Amino acid sequence: MTTAKTAIVTGATSGIGEAISRSLIAKGYNVMMAARRADRLESLAQELGPNADFAVTDITKRSDVISLADQAKEKFGQIDAFINNAGIMPLSFFKSRKVEEWDRMIDVNLKGTLYGIDAVLPDMLDRQDGHIINVASIAGLQTAPGFGVYSATKFGVRALSESLRQEVAAQNVRVTLISPGTVQTELFGTITDNEILELIQAGLPYEPMKPQTIADAVLYALSQPGSACVGEIVVRPTGQGTMS
Ligand SMILES: NC(=O)c1ccc[n+]([C@@H]2O[C@H](COP(=O)([O-])OP(=O)(O)OC[C@H]3O[C@@H](n4cnc5c(N)ncnc54)[C@H](OP(=O)(O)O)[C@@H]3O)[C@@H](O)[C@H]2O)c1
């Protein structure tokens, strides 16, 4: 057990979550990484050293998320920050009727985020200390055709984050919402709707951000004095005027 602060990062196997995990280790945190791909978690944990550990976790399973929190406490003592980052984005038009993908987005992006909050909030309230950071999207601020269900989950994450912030403010628990614009990650690989894929293949009229830009936003929120709660951060590529 160490005296360093401990963070749990979901979705640590790629993109934004991997960048957050690397940055937190570099800042001296203990990091418990969570995702489903065991091989990636294992090699990242080996690379990051003794302050990193992992728990193979499917955030759609409440029991997995509770085990994740238990494992972090057992290994590192207490959980100071929970970064609810894992998410999927199988964009589709409603007419394509990809109902299983709608269900999955609700399960991962919305219910998974709730399970993370549930797993760590009681201890944070008892200790009167802790920080929950939820990664939403600019799709939680505006929407467009093809973004409907993804946007609904991210509008939902924004709403629950603000409600949670108001509820726990007096108990000294901080809640931060991070809303990124487009970031270069594996997220677009979850799309199966051919019409959306054709639009994406036409290329973006701007340069997407690097995952590190969002990791830096997380570090900013975490590094403020305990008396300051960064409520929301929105970061877009400079050239991204609208959603698409
Ligand atoms: N990239 C963007 O343009 C962008 C913009 C705005 C917001 N975001 C948000 O940023 C967050 C991170 O996405 P990313 O861009 O870094 O995408 P990514 O590279 O595809 O990473 C997604 C992560 O989520 C994990 N994940 C997916 N389903 C999971 C499940 N059921 N249980 C546990 N982990 C799961 C994946 O790991 P496993 O497959 O190993 O489980 C992976 O580590 C998401 O919430 C996304 O909505 C991204």
Over range 154-164, report the average pLDDT: 98
Sign of torsion, CA 184 187 192 193?
Answer: negative
Task: Calculate the average pLDDT of the chain.
Answer: 97
Q: Is the CB of residue 121 less than 8 Å from the CB of residue 172?
A: no
| Beta-bridge mates of residue 175 | 132
pLDDT above 60: residue 203: yes
Ligand 1 pocket test: pick from 8, 9, 10, 14 the residue with the most ligand atoms within 8 Å of its Cβ.
14
Q: Is the CB of residue 122 less than 8 Å from the CB of residue 77?
A: no
Gap from CA of 170 to ligand 1 centroid (Å): 31
Q: Is the CB of 97 under 6 A from ligand 1?
A: no
Q: Is the CB of 88 under 6 A from ligand 1?
A: yes
| Tokens found for residue 224 | 């403020």
Ligand 1 pocket test: pick from 9, 39, 44, 89 the residue with the most ligand atoms within 8 Å of its Cβ.
89
> Buried b / exposed e across 199-222, counting CB within 10 Å, b at 16+?
eeeeeeeeebbbbebbbebbbebb
pLDDT above 90: residue 68: yes
| Residue 243 pLDDT | 81
| Residue 3 pLDDT | 63
Query: Where residue 234 falls among pLDDT bands split at 50, 70, 90?
Result: very high
Does 150 participate in catalysis according to the annotation? yes
Quote the CA–CA distance of 239 and 208 in Å, as a whole number: 9
Quote the CA–CA distance of 145 and 150 in Å, as a whole number: 11
Gap from CA of 126 to ligand 1 centroid (Å): 30
Domain boundaries, the chain: 6-235
Q: In sequence order, what E strands does the chain have?
A: 6-10, 30-35, 52-56, 81-84, 130-135, 173-180, 232-235
Q: Is the CB of 61 under 6 A from ligand 1?
A: no
Span 10-48, pLDDT tens digits: 999 999 999 999 999 999 999 999 999 999 999 999 999
pLDDT above 90: residue 98: yes
Q: Is the CB of 108 under 6 A from ligand 1?
A: yes
195 CB neighbour count, 10 Å cutoff: 14
pLDDT above 50: residue 170: yes
| Residue 37 pLDDT | 98
| Residue 145 pLDDT | 96
> Beta strands 52-56 and 81-84: pairing type?
unpaired
In the CATH hierarchy, which fold is given to the domain comprising 6-235? Rossmann fold (3.40.50)
CA 107-215-160 angle, to 5 degrees, is 40
Query: Where residue 91 falls among pLDDT bands split at 50, 70, 90?
Result: very high
| Residue 1 pLDDT | 46
